[in-house]
Amino acid sequence: MRPILLSGHERALTQVKYNADGDLIFSTAKDQQICVWYAHNGERLGTYHGHQGAIWTVDVEPTSTLIASGSADNTIKLWDLKSGKCLKTWEFPTAVKRVEFNEDGTKLLGVTEKRMGHLGTIVVLDIKVDVDAEQSDEKAMTIVCDESKATVAGWSYLSKYIIAGHEDGSVSQYDAKTGDQLVNYNIHELGQPITDLQWAPDRSYFITASKDKTAKLITARDLEVLKTYTADTPMNSATITVKKDFVILGGGQAAMDVTRTSARQGKFEARFYHKIFEEEVGRVRGHFGPLNTVAADPTGKSYCSGGEDGYVRVHHFDKGYFDFMYEVERERMNRLNQEEQQRQQKEQKENKK
Amino acid sequence: MAPSFDHLVEENLDDEEFDEDEVDISDLKQKYEVQLESGLDTFVVVDGLPTVDEAQKPKLVKFLLKKMNTVGRTREEQIYMPMGEDGKSMNFAFVEYSTKTEAAAAVRQLDMVPLDKRHTLRVNKFTDIEHYGREGKISENYTPPEIEPFHDQEHLRWFMADPSGRGRDQFVMYRGDSVGVFWNNDKDQPELIVDRPGWTETFVQWSPLGTYLTSVHAQGVQLWGGPSWTRQRRFAHPFVNMVAFSPNENYLVTWSNRPISIPDEGHPSLSLDDDGKNYVIWDVKTSKPLRSFAQLDVPAGPGEDLAARKPAKLPWPAFKWSSDDKYVARLTQGSAISVYELPRMNLLDKTTIKVEGVMDFEWAPATVQREGFKGHEQLLCYWTPEIGSNPAKVSLMSIPTKQVVRTLNLFSVSDAKLHWQSDGAYLCVKVDRHSKSKKSQATTLEIFRVKEKGVPVEVVDTIKDTVINFAWEPKGDRFVIITTTEPVGATAVPPKTSVSFFCPEKAKGNAVGNFKHLRTLDKKNSNAIYWSPKGRFVVVATVANTQSSDLDFFDLDFEGEKPESDKDLTANLQLMNTADHYGVTDVEWDPSGRFVATWASAWKHAMENGYHLYDFKGEQLREEPIEKFKQWQWRPRPATLLTKEEQKTIRKNLREYSRVFDQEDAERISSADVAVVEHRRRLLEEWYAWRAQVEEEIAEEREALGLPDVAQLLKEKTEGLAGNGEEQIIEEIVEEVLEETEEIVQ
């Protein structure tokens, strides 16, 4: 299917995000506005104005009431999704690189940059999921990353842990209530920063992307590496699809290394891997700069990618995508169907009795 | 009073009685004894002379003087031949040279030189006789040399027996810092045999028959082999840059651009005579150096400014081997070819072959049996440019007789290249000619039919453009050329090229007809030709080109219909497939002619390094991008041991063999597939089992904590919204213009 090209940004994309219903796409870029688009046709619904610097990150509250954004102007802003009104601004000493709501939207975490004598931190804010409510000024908690700064972070299932990916390639697990570091494992190649961390729908496992040219699927509880997806170029982003057992990786030759080489050379492609078999199943071309961010539709109908080239590309999957199955998957599906049928027949018989 | 030595000694002496004579310092004395320049270094001792009496002595001395003067300068009165009491000579003489180096040269060059049938000269340094022959140095009793017990060596040709029974070939890959040897598994992951990090420092190379793997280090060259990949040989040539084997693996040439410098403490295998040399020729079996050579300076042409001249590109290999390993030759450009006999490495007939103006030479790659010639000979061909009013010449010389068997005169020659066919049956001389005004260039091919009587020469002069590449079909009589209209210069975009195929006409009996043009393909970018080692198939490729990277796979004996125009020709050309390997830098056929490996080497560029593997039809089997991929080399195979008849029988029964092989392949593939499927099935089961467990655990925990489900939250909100008002219906009107016509109403 033809991709939809969203050309509303003037500079490199930093993050794209679907809301929980999968009907809206939020995108941030190094220009100073957040855009929101209809996922199904690419029409721009509106923008959120207020930030004074490059916007690094955006997240949507699960009930699509609020959105939060973090920016290089050292603030996190909370917005009314519907009206575009800025509800609250929290100020920090350094830029905010990542924000994420927990699963019920009552807590928001922000990752702040290490700079100018300030260590990188992960801050937690209490949120009232109500457009009219007064939001608290106080930070509920601050985790200081004194070893290696956090580049990305997120909430696990039941808001039990905060998981952070670090600049040195390690992944930490923090207790979400106390902020204590529980474990820290060197998961990616030492010294290769983790560039993205995205969750499976139930937040029991997540995928990390790294400059070490791999993405890894990791459990939230034990930080056990389940799967590794190996690419041939540094990865900037990775996401997990629903409906189909795939993961999507985005990356490419780093923007600063791109010279006069062709697009082919830069490897600016979205790569699809089978989540369970770790095998590459396909690539989608189109961007002419590295992919900075990819996101999968929570309803499984589409995915979108944002590139250094300033474009967001939304791809709706067509029939072939849904029909594609490994032989063993088909086998399993048929078996499950059969079992289901048998069970139903049994029930019917019992009902008759 | 100033303290004097006498006083000091007096005062500091110990009280104890001290007898100097009691201390035995003879061992120290011997150790630190200074070897005084005895002046005897210029003397040599010549042994093995015939016994003569006083009357015959002057005659022998004169004869000896002549011999000794070939390497240095000496006079009659400097030869002293002691006479025994019986008035007969004692079979030896002392000879004094004017310098030490001359004496050394005499020892090196005249030792073991036969005088006549019964007498062989033995020349030793006088100081050596003194040194080794000194009292006590040699034991009076004979002790037999210790013979080391025999160690079983591993079979060096083990690689010919593929353990899987499929006759697979091996190859070596050098990527990153490690070197690995693999069995080729066509479509599947190659099977690793051995992988060692830092096995070599610069590159690896197989010996020509595949017996050894050569690794190159700053200290020298090492050969590895056998099933356990142990070190077989070591050749300590410091800072070696290049390595070349003789065709039968008996000898090895190493070259370093730094002249060898022998340290004071000596060198494990090289001697002082090798100091300052660049090339060393080694015996592979004994790993001893045979002879070393210094680099030759290419003489400056007339009128050339020596300082302004760019350093000439070194011709490699500088030493070229005859096909039977018996001779090795080196060119002194412009003046001579030096042919050395092996294993002694002496100049053939003690003199170089003087050829004025000689530009290049090539040995025949096989031992050729010329018609009307009996006996063993190796053929050598060389060319000389026009000198004054003399024409340029291409000559064919027979070694060891040094007889020129064929000469061809040519005019208006600007350059020539010599191309032997692999059996030595043909020699093609690609002659670049210029017109009288020297403005335009053209190429002719002069083909020598070496095996035919009188060595007839056929000229192919139908080519209008410059030929940039030429390749004979191995063991065949067809060839491919690549031509271009413009000379290849330093342009950004290389000019378009044409690929032409030539083959002989059909002729009666066993004769080979005249070479005829078969087909030309225009507007190509191709620049390289790779024939299958078994002939028939050829890959014409565009390598090391940033714009294009085509690989065209041709069959010259296509079994389909033959065009009417080619009915008199011995080839039926068919393009089987075209592949594209971005950034390809090298192409190599496997020794069986079944597979083609192409790779993009990190030595040439850093883009998409890795390899592709194709079958002979050009169908891609594998592709593997590997970071810092440097080198691929198929392991060569030694010549087959089967006789012609046996090979013929096999070819006849090929159908039966292939039936068995096909069945085996099918079985193997299906069993491999089963394994893969089984593995996937397990992964899938494991995953879903894990998911079920995790989901259950989370649900329990959620319940315990009393946390709401996300889906539930969403539902609440939607319900809340729905309560506010009735469902909204969005209508979208789509207009479609079916037809538009415009009429002008007057």
pLDDT tens across the length of chain A (353 residues): 689 999 999 999 999 999 998 999 999 999 999 999 999 999 999 999 999 999 999 999 998 999 999 999 999 999 999 999 999 999 999 999 999 999 888 999 999 999 878 899 999 999 998 888 888 888 999 999 888 999 999 999 989 999 999 999 999 999 999 999 999 999 999 999 999 999 999 899 999 999 999 999 999 999 999 999 999 889 999 999 999 999 999 998 776 665 555 555 668 899 999 999 999 999 998 888 899 999 999 999 999 999 999 999 999 999 889 999 888 888 889 999 999 999 999 989 888 87
pLDDT in tens, B387-434: 888 888 999 888 888 888 888 888 888 888 999 998 888 999 998 888
Among residues of chain B, what percentage have pLDDT more than 70?
90
Nearest by CB: B707 against A63, A158, A265: A158
Q: What is the pLDDT of residue B494?
A: 73
Quickly state the pLDDT bin for B300 (edges 50, 70, 90): very low
Q: Where are the domains of chain A?
A: 4-317
Chain B residue numbers touching A157 (CB-CB < 8 A): 698
CA B606 to chain A, closest CA, distance in angstroms equals 10
Of A75-89, B140-154, B436-450, B703-717, where does mean pLDDT reach its minimum? B703-717
Average pLDDT over residues B492-519: 82
Chain A residue numbers touching B684 (CB-CB < 8 A): 276, 328-329, 332
Q: Which chain A residue lies closest to B715 (C-alpha atoms)?
A: A63
Residue recorded with tokens 């050579």: B293
Range of the domain at B92: 43-133
User: Positive or negative, the Cα torsion across B668, B674, B680, B683?
Assistant: negative
Q: Do B627 and A105 touch (CB under 8 A)?
A: no
Judge whether residue B554 has pLDDT over 50. Answer: yes
Residue A88 · residue A78 · CB < 8 Å: yes
Q: What is the pTM of this model?
A: 0.69
Residue A337, SS3 per DSSP:
helix
Most confident of A222-236, B17-31, B367-381: A222-236
pLDDT in tens, B159-187: 888 888 888 899 999 998 999 999 998 88
Residue partners of A143: CB distance under 8 A and separation at least 6: A121, A122, A123, A124, A162, A164, A174, A179, A181
Q: Do A104 and B713 touch (CB under 8 A)?
A: yes
Q: What is the pLDDT of residue B302?
A: 46
What is d(CA B42, CA B97) in angstroms, rounded to the nearest whole number?
Answer: 5
Nearest by CB: A157 against B582, B698, B713: B698
Q: Which chain B residue lies closest to A203 (C-alpha atoms)?
A: B698
- Interchain CB contact of B699 with A (< 8 Å): no
Q: Do B625 and A158 touch (CB under 8 A)?
A: no
Nearest by CB: A63 against B627, B701, B714: B714
Chain B residue numbers touching A131 (CB-CB < 8 A): none
Average pLDDT over residues B486-513: 76
CA A328 to chain B, closest CA, distance in angstroms equals 6
Interface of A with B in 89-148 (CB under 8 A): 103-105
Q: Shortest CA distance to B483 belongs to which of B435, B447, B432?
A: B432
What is d(CA B586, CA B611) in angstroms, rounded to the nearest whole number?
Answer: 9
Bridging pattern class, strands A44-49 and A33-38: antiparallel
Q: Do B713 and A105 touch (CB under 8 A)?
A: yes
Judge whether residue B727 has pLDDT over 90. Answer: no
- Interchain CB contact of A276 with B (< 8 Å): yes
CA B176 to chain A, closest CA, distance in angstroms equals 15
Nearest by CB: A329 against B684, B710, B713: B684
Q: Do B708 and A104 touch (CB under 8 A)?
A: yes
What is d(CA B44, CA A29) in angstroms, rounded to the nearest whole number?
Answer: 89
- Interchain CB contact of B675 with A (< 8 Å): no
Q: What is the pLDDT of residue B310?
A: 47
* Site from A218, A271, A275, A328 to mutate, B interface, most B CB atoms within 10 angstroms: A328
User: Positive or negative, the Cα torsion across A295, A297, A301, A302?
Assistant: negative
Chain B residue numbers touching A327 (CB-CB < 8 A): 677, 680
Q: What is the pLDDT of residue B375?
A: 78
CATH number of the domain to which B62 belongs: 3.30.70.330
Tokens linked to B314: 């070194």
Q: Shortest CA distance to B267 belongs to which of B238, B232, B234?
A: B238
What is d(CA B301, CA B322) in angstroms, rounded to the nearest whole number?
Answer: 29
Q: Chains A, B: CB contacts under 8 A, how many?
A: 57
User: Higher confidence at residue B373 or residue B410?
Assistant: B410
* Residues of chain A by 3-state class (helix, strand, coil), percent to 5: 10, 45, 40
- In a 10 Å sphere around its CB, with 0-12 CB exposed, 13-18 middle and 19+ buried, how is residue B85 labelled? exposed
Judge whether residue B709 has pLDDT over 90. Answer: no
Among residues of chain B, what percentage have pLDDT more than 90?
22
Q: Do B714 and A62 touch (CB under 8 A)?
A: yes
Chain B residue numbers touching A264 (CB-CB < 8 A): 582
What is d(CA B301, CA A153) in angstroms, rounded to the nearest whole number?
Answer: 73
- Interchain CB contact of B711 with A (< 8 Å): no
Average pLDDT over residues B364-388: 85
Nearest by CB: B683 against A205, A261, A277: A277
Structural domain tally of chain B? 1
Q: What is the mean pLDDT of chain B?
A: 83
Q: Do A264 and B717 touch (CB under 8 A)?
A: no
Please state the separation of Cα B278 from the chain's center in Å: 17
- Interchain CB contact of B371 with A (< 8 Å): no
CA A56 to chain B, closest CA, distance in angstroms equals 26
Q: Which chain A residue lies closest to B684 (C-alpha atoms)?
A: A276
Quickly state the pLDDT bin for B252 (edges 50, 70, 90): very high
Judge whether residue B301 has pLDDT over 50. Answer: no
Judge whether residue B522 has pLDDT over 90. Answer: no
- The secondary element (H helix, E strand) that includes residue B403 is strand B403-410
* Site from B677, B705, B707 to mutate, A interface, most A CB atoms within 10 angstroms: B707
Q: What is the pLDDT of residue A255?
A: 65
Class of domain A4-317: mainly beta
User: Higher confidence at residue B300 or residue B702?
Assistant: B702
User: Higher confidence at residue B490 or residue A3?
Assistant: A3
What is d(CA B574, CA A39) in angstroms, rounded to the nearest whole number?
Answer: 52
Establish whether the linkage from the previous residue to B400 is cis, with ω within 30° of 0.
yes
Average pLDDT over residues B682-687: 92
Q: What is the pLDDT of residue B16?
A: 54
Establish whether the linkage from the previous residue to B317 is cis, with ω within 30° of 0.
yes
Chain A residue numbers touching B607 (CB-CB < 8 A): 261, 265
Average pLDDT over residues B150-166: 86
Q: What is the pLDDT of residue B59?
A: 85
Chain B residue numbers touching A160 (CB-CB < 8 A): 701
What is d(CA A244, CA A226) in angstroms, rounded to the nearest whole number?
Answer: 17
Quickly state the pLDDT bin for B30 (edges 50, 70, 90): low
Q: Do B680 and A328 touch (CB under 8 A)?
A: yes
Q: What is the pLDDT of residue B309?
A: 43
Judge whether residue B36 has pLDDT over 60. Answer: no
Q: Which chain B residue lies closest to A103 (C-alpha atoms)?
A: B710
Quickly state the pLDDT bin for B596 (edges 50, 70, 90): very high
How many CA atoms, within 13 angstroms, populate the side-chain half-sphere of residue A202?
13
ipTM (interface pTM): 0.89
Bridging pattern class, strands A194-199 and A181-186: unpaired
Q: What is the pLDDT of residue B306?
A: 43
Chain B residue numbers touching A277 (CB-CB < 8 A): 680, 683
Interface of A with B in 37-96 (CB under 8 A): 62-65
Average pLDDT over residues B533-559: 88
Interface of B with A in 617-636 (CB under 8 A): 625, 627
Q: Do B680 and A265 touch (CB under 8 A)?
A: no
Establish whether the linkage from the previous residue to B238 is cis, with ω within 30° of 0.
no
Q: Which chain A residue lies closest to B547 (C-alpha atoms)?
A: A262
Quickly state the pLDDT bin for B42 (edges 50, 70, 90): confident
Judge whether residue B322 has pLDDT over 80. Answer: yes
What is d(CA B207, CA B224) in angstroms, rounded to the nearest whole number?
Answer: 10
Residue partners of B328: CB distance under 8 A and separation at least 6: B246, B251, B253, B281, B319, B320, B321, B322, B339, B340, B342, B345
Chain A residue numbers touching B707 (CB-CB < 8 A): 104, 158-159
Judge whether residue B104 has pLDDT over 60. Answer: yes
Q: Do A104 and B707 touch (CB under 8 A)?
A: yes
What is d(CA B541, CA B298) in angstroms, rounded to the nearest whole number?
Answer: 34
